[in-house]
């Protein structure tokens, strides 16, 4: 009987010892849960290679032009060339700006093929009442929309001339030129267009230059007319 009790007591001690060891080991273990899925690799961002050249209306390279597409930006080199990769998403155009030139936007068709652009920038010209302005109209000068939405007149090719602050909105502006070709003169404040009054051969007069900060006139060929470029013209006021 004593030996049986000893055996039972010894077995109890073994069980208690094993239980204690098991409890000590469980303190360092975390509960086992489901295995998390492997992190997925993000899909590569589709890009498109955009390159081109920025030139003036005389086909000379424009260096240092800022070419922007959404958050991507680059600049033209000394030869006017530029190249960069952009995200192949809308907008499908670049905005181009260079000191001394009018800004503009140039676009491309949807797709993924490389794009090569030829971007023509017109020099920015201001007219002041202090003296007549003599400028030239080039065949490379871009068209401008100069009319109301219902009749959509365009000036093409066209030269945009900005009005200096000393030119009053009611000033009469005269356009004179020599040589072949038909020129038109339009004035606009951004919404209202005043058609030029013809007062003599190769001499047009517009009686207003619009109002506000964006006063301007356009000199160029009426849409559909034979190209008058290249031609030298003069702007003066009464």
pLDDT tens-digit readout, 120-134: 999 999 999 888 999
Yes or no: say if 219 and 235 are a contact pair by the CB < 8 Å rule: yes
Task: Provide the residue range defining the domain that includes 66.
Answer: 47-121
Residue 18 lies inside a defined structural domain of this protein? no
- Which of 121, 154, 186 marks a domain boundary? 121
Considering its fold, how many domains does the chain have in total? 2
pLDDT at 85 over 90: yes
What's the pLDDT band for 15 if we cut at 50, 70, 90?
very low
- Which of 95, 121, 147 marks a domain boundary? 121
Residue 112 lies inside a defined structural domain of this protein? yes
77 and 148, same domain (yes or no): no
| Range among 51-55, 135-139, 161-165 rated most confident | 51-55
- Which of 86, 121, 156 marks a domain boundary? 121
129 and 116, same domain (yes or no): no
Q: What is the pLDDT of residue 10?
A: 47
- Tallying the residues shown for the chain, one arrives at 238
Closest C-alpha among 58, 46, 48 to residue 117: 48
Task: Give the list of residues 6+ apart from residue 108 with CB closer than 8 angstroms, or none.
Answer: 50, 92, 93, 115, 117
Element (H, E) at 203: strand 203-206
Q: What is the pLDDT of residue 202?
A: 79
187 and 107, same domain (yes or no): no
As a whole number of Å, the CA-based R_g of the chain is 37
Element (H, E) at 19: helix 2-26
State pLDDT tens for residues 151-209. Answer: 557 788 899 999 888 888 878 888 998 877 788 888 876 566 666 776 767 788 887 78
Say how far apart CA 196 and CA 199 lie, in whole Å: 9
186 and 206, same domain (yes or no): yes
The CATH number of residue 154's host domain is: 2.60.120
Q: What is the pLDDT of residue 2?
A: 44
Q: Mapping DSSP to helix (H, G, I), strand (E, B) and coil, where does residue 165 land?
A: coil
């Amino acid at each position: 009987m004593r030996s049986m009790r000893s055996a039972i007591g010894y077995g109890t001690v073994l069980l208690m010892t094993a239980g204690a060891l098991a409890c000590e080991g469980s303190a360092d273990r975390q509960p086992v849960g489901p295995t998390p899925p492997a992190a997925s690799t993000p899909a590569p961002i589709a890009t498109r290679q955009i390159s081109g050249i920025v030139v003036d209306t005389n086909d000379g390279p424009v260096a240092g032009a800022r070419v922007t597409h959404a958050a991507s930006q680059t600049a033209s080199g000394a030869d006017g060339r530029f190249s960069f990769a952009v995200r192949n998403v809308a907008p499908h155009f670049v905005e181009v700006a260079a000191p001394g030139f009018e800004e503009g936007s140039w676009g491309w068709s949807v797709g993924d093929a490389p794009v090569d652009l030829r971007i023509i920038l017109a020099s920015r010209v201001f007219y002041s009442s202090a003296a007549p302005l003599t400028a030239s109209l080039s065949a490379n000068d871009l068209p401008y929309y100069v009319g109301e939405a219902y009749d959509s007149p365009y000036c093409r090719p066209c030269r945009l001339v900005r009005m200096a602050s000393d030119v009053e909105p009611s000033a009469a502006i005269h356009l004179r030129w020599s040589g072949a070709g038909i020129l038109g003169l339009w004035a606009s404040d951004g919404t209202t267009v005043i058609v030029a009054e013809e007062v003599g051969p190769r001499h047009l007069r517009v009686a207003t230059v619009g109002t506000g900060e964006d006063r301007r006139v356009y000199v160029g060929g009426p849409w559909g007319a034979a190209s008058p470029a290249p031609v030298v013209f003069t702007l003066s006021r009464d």
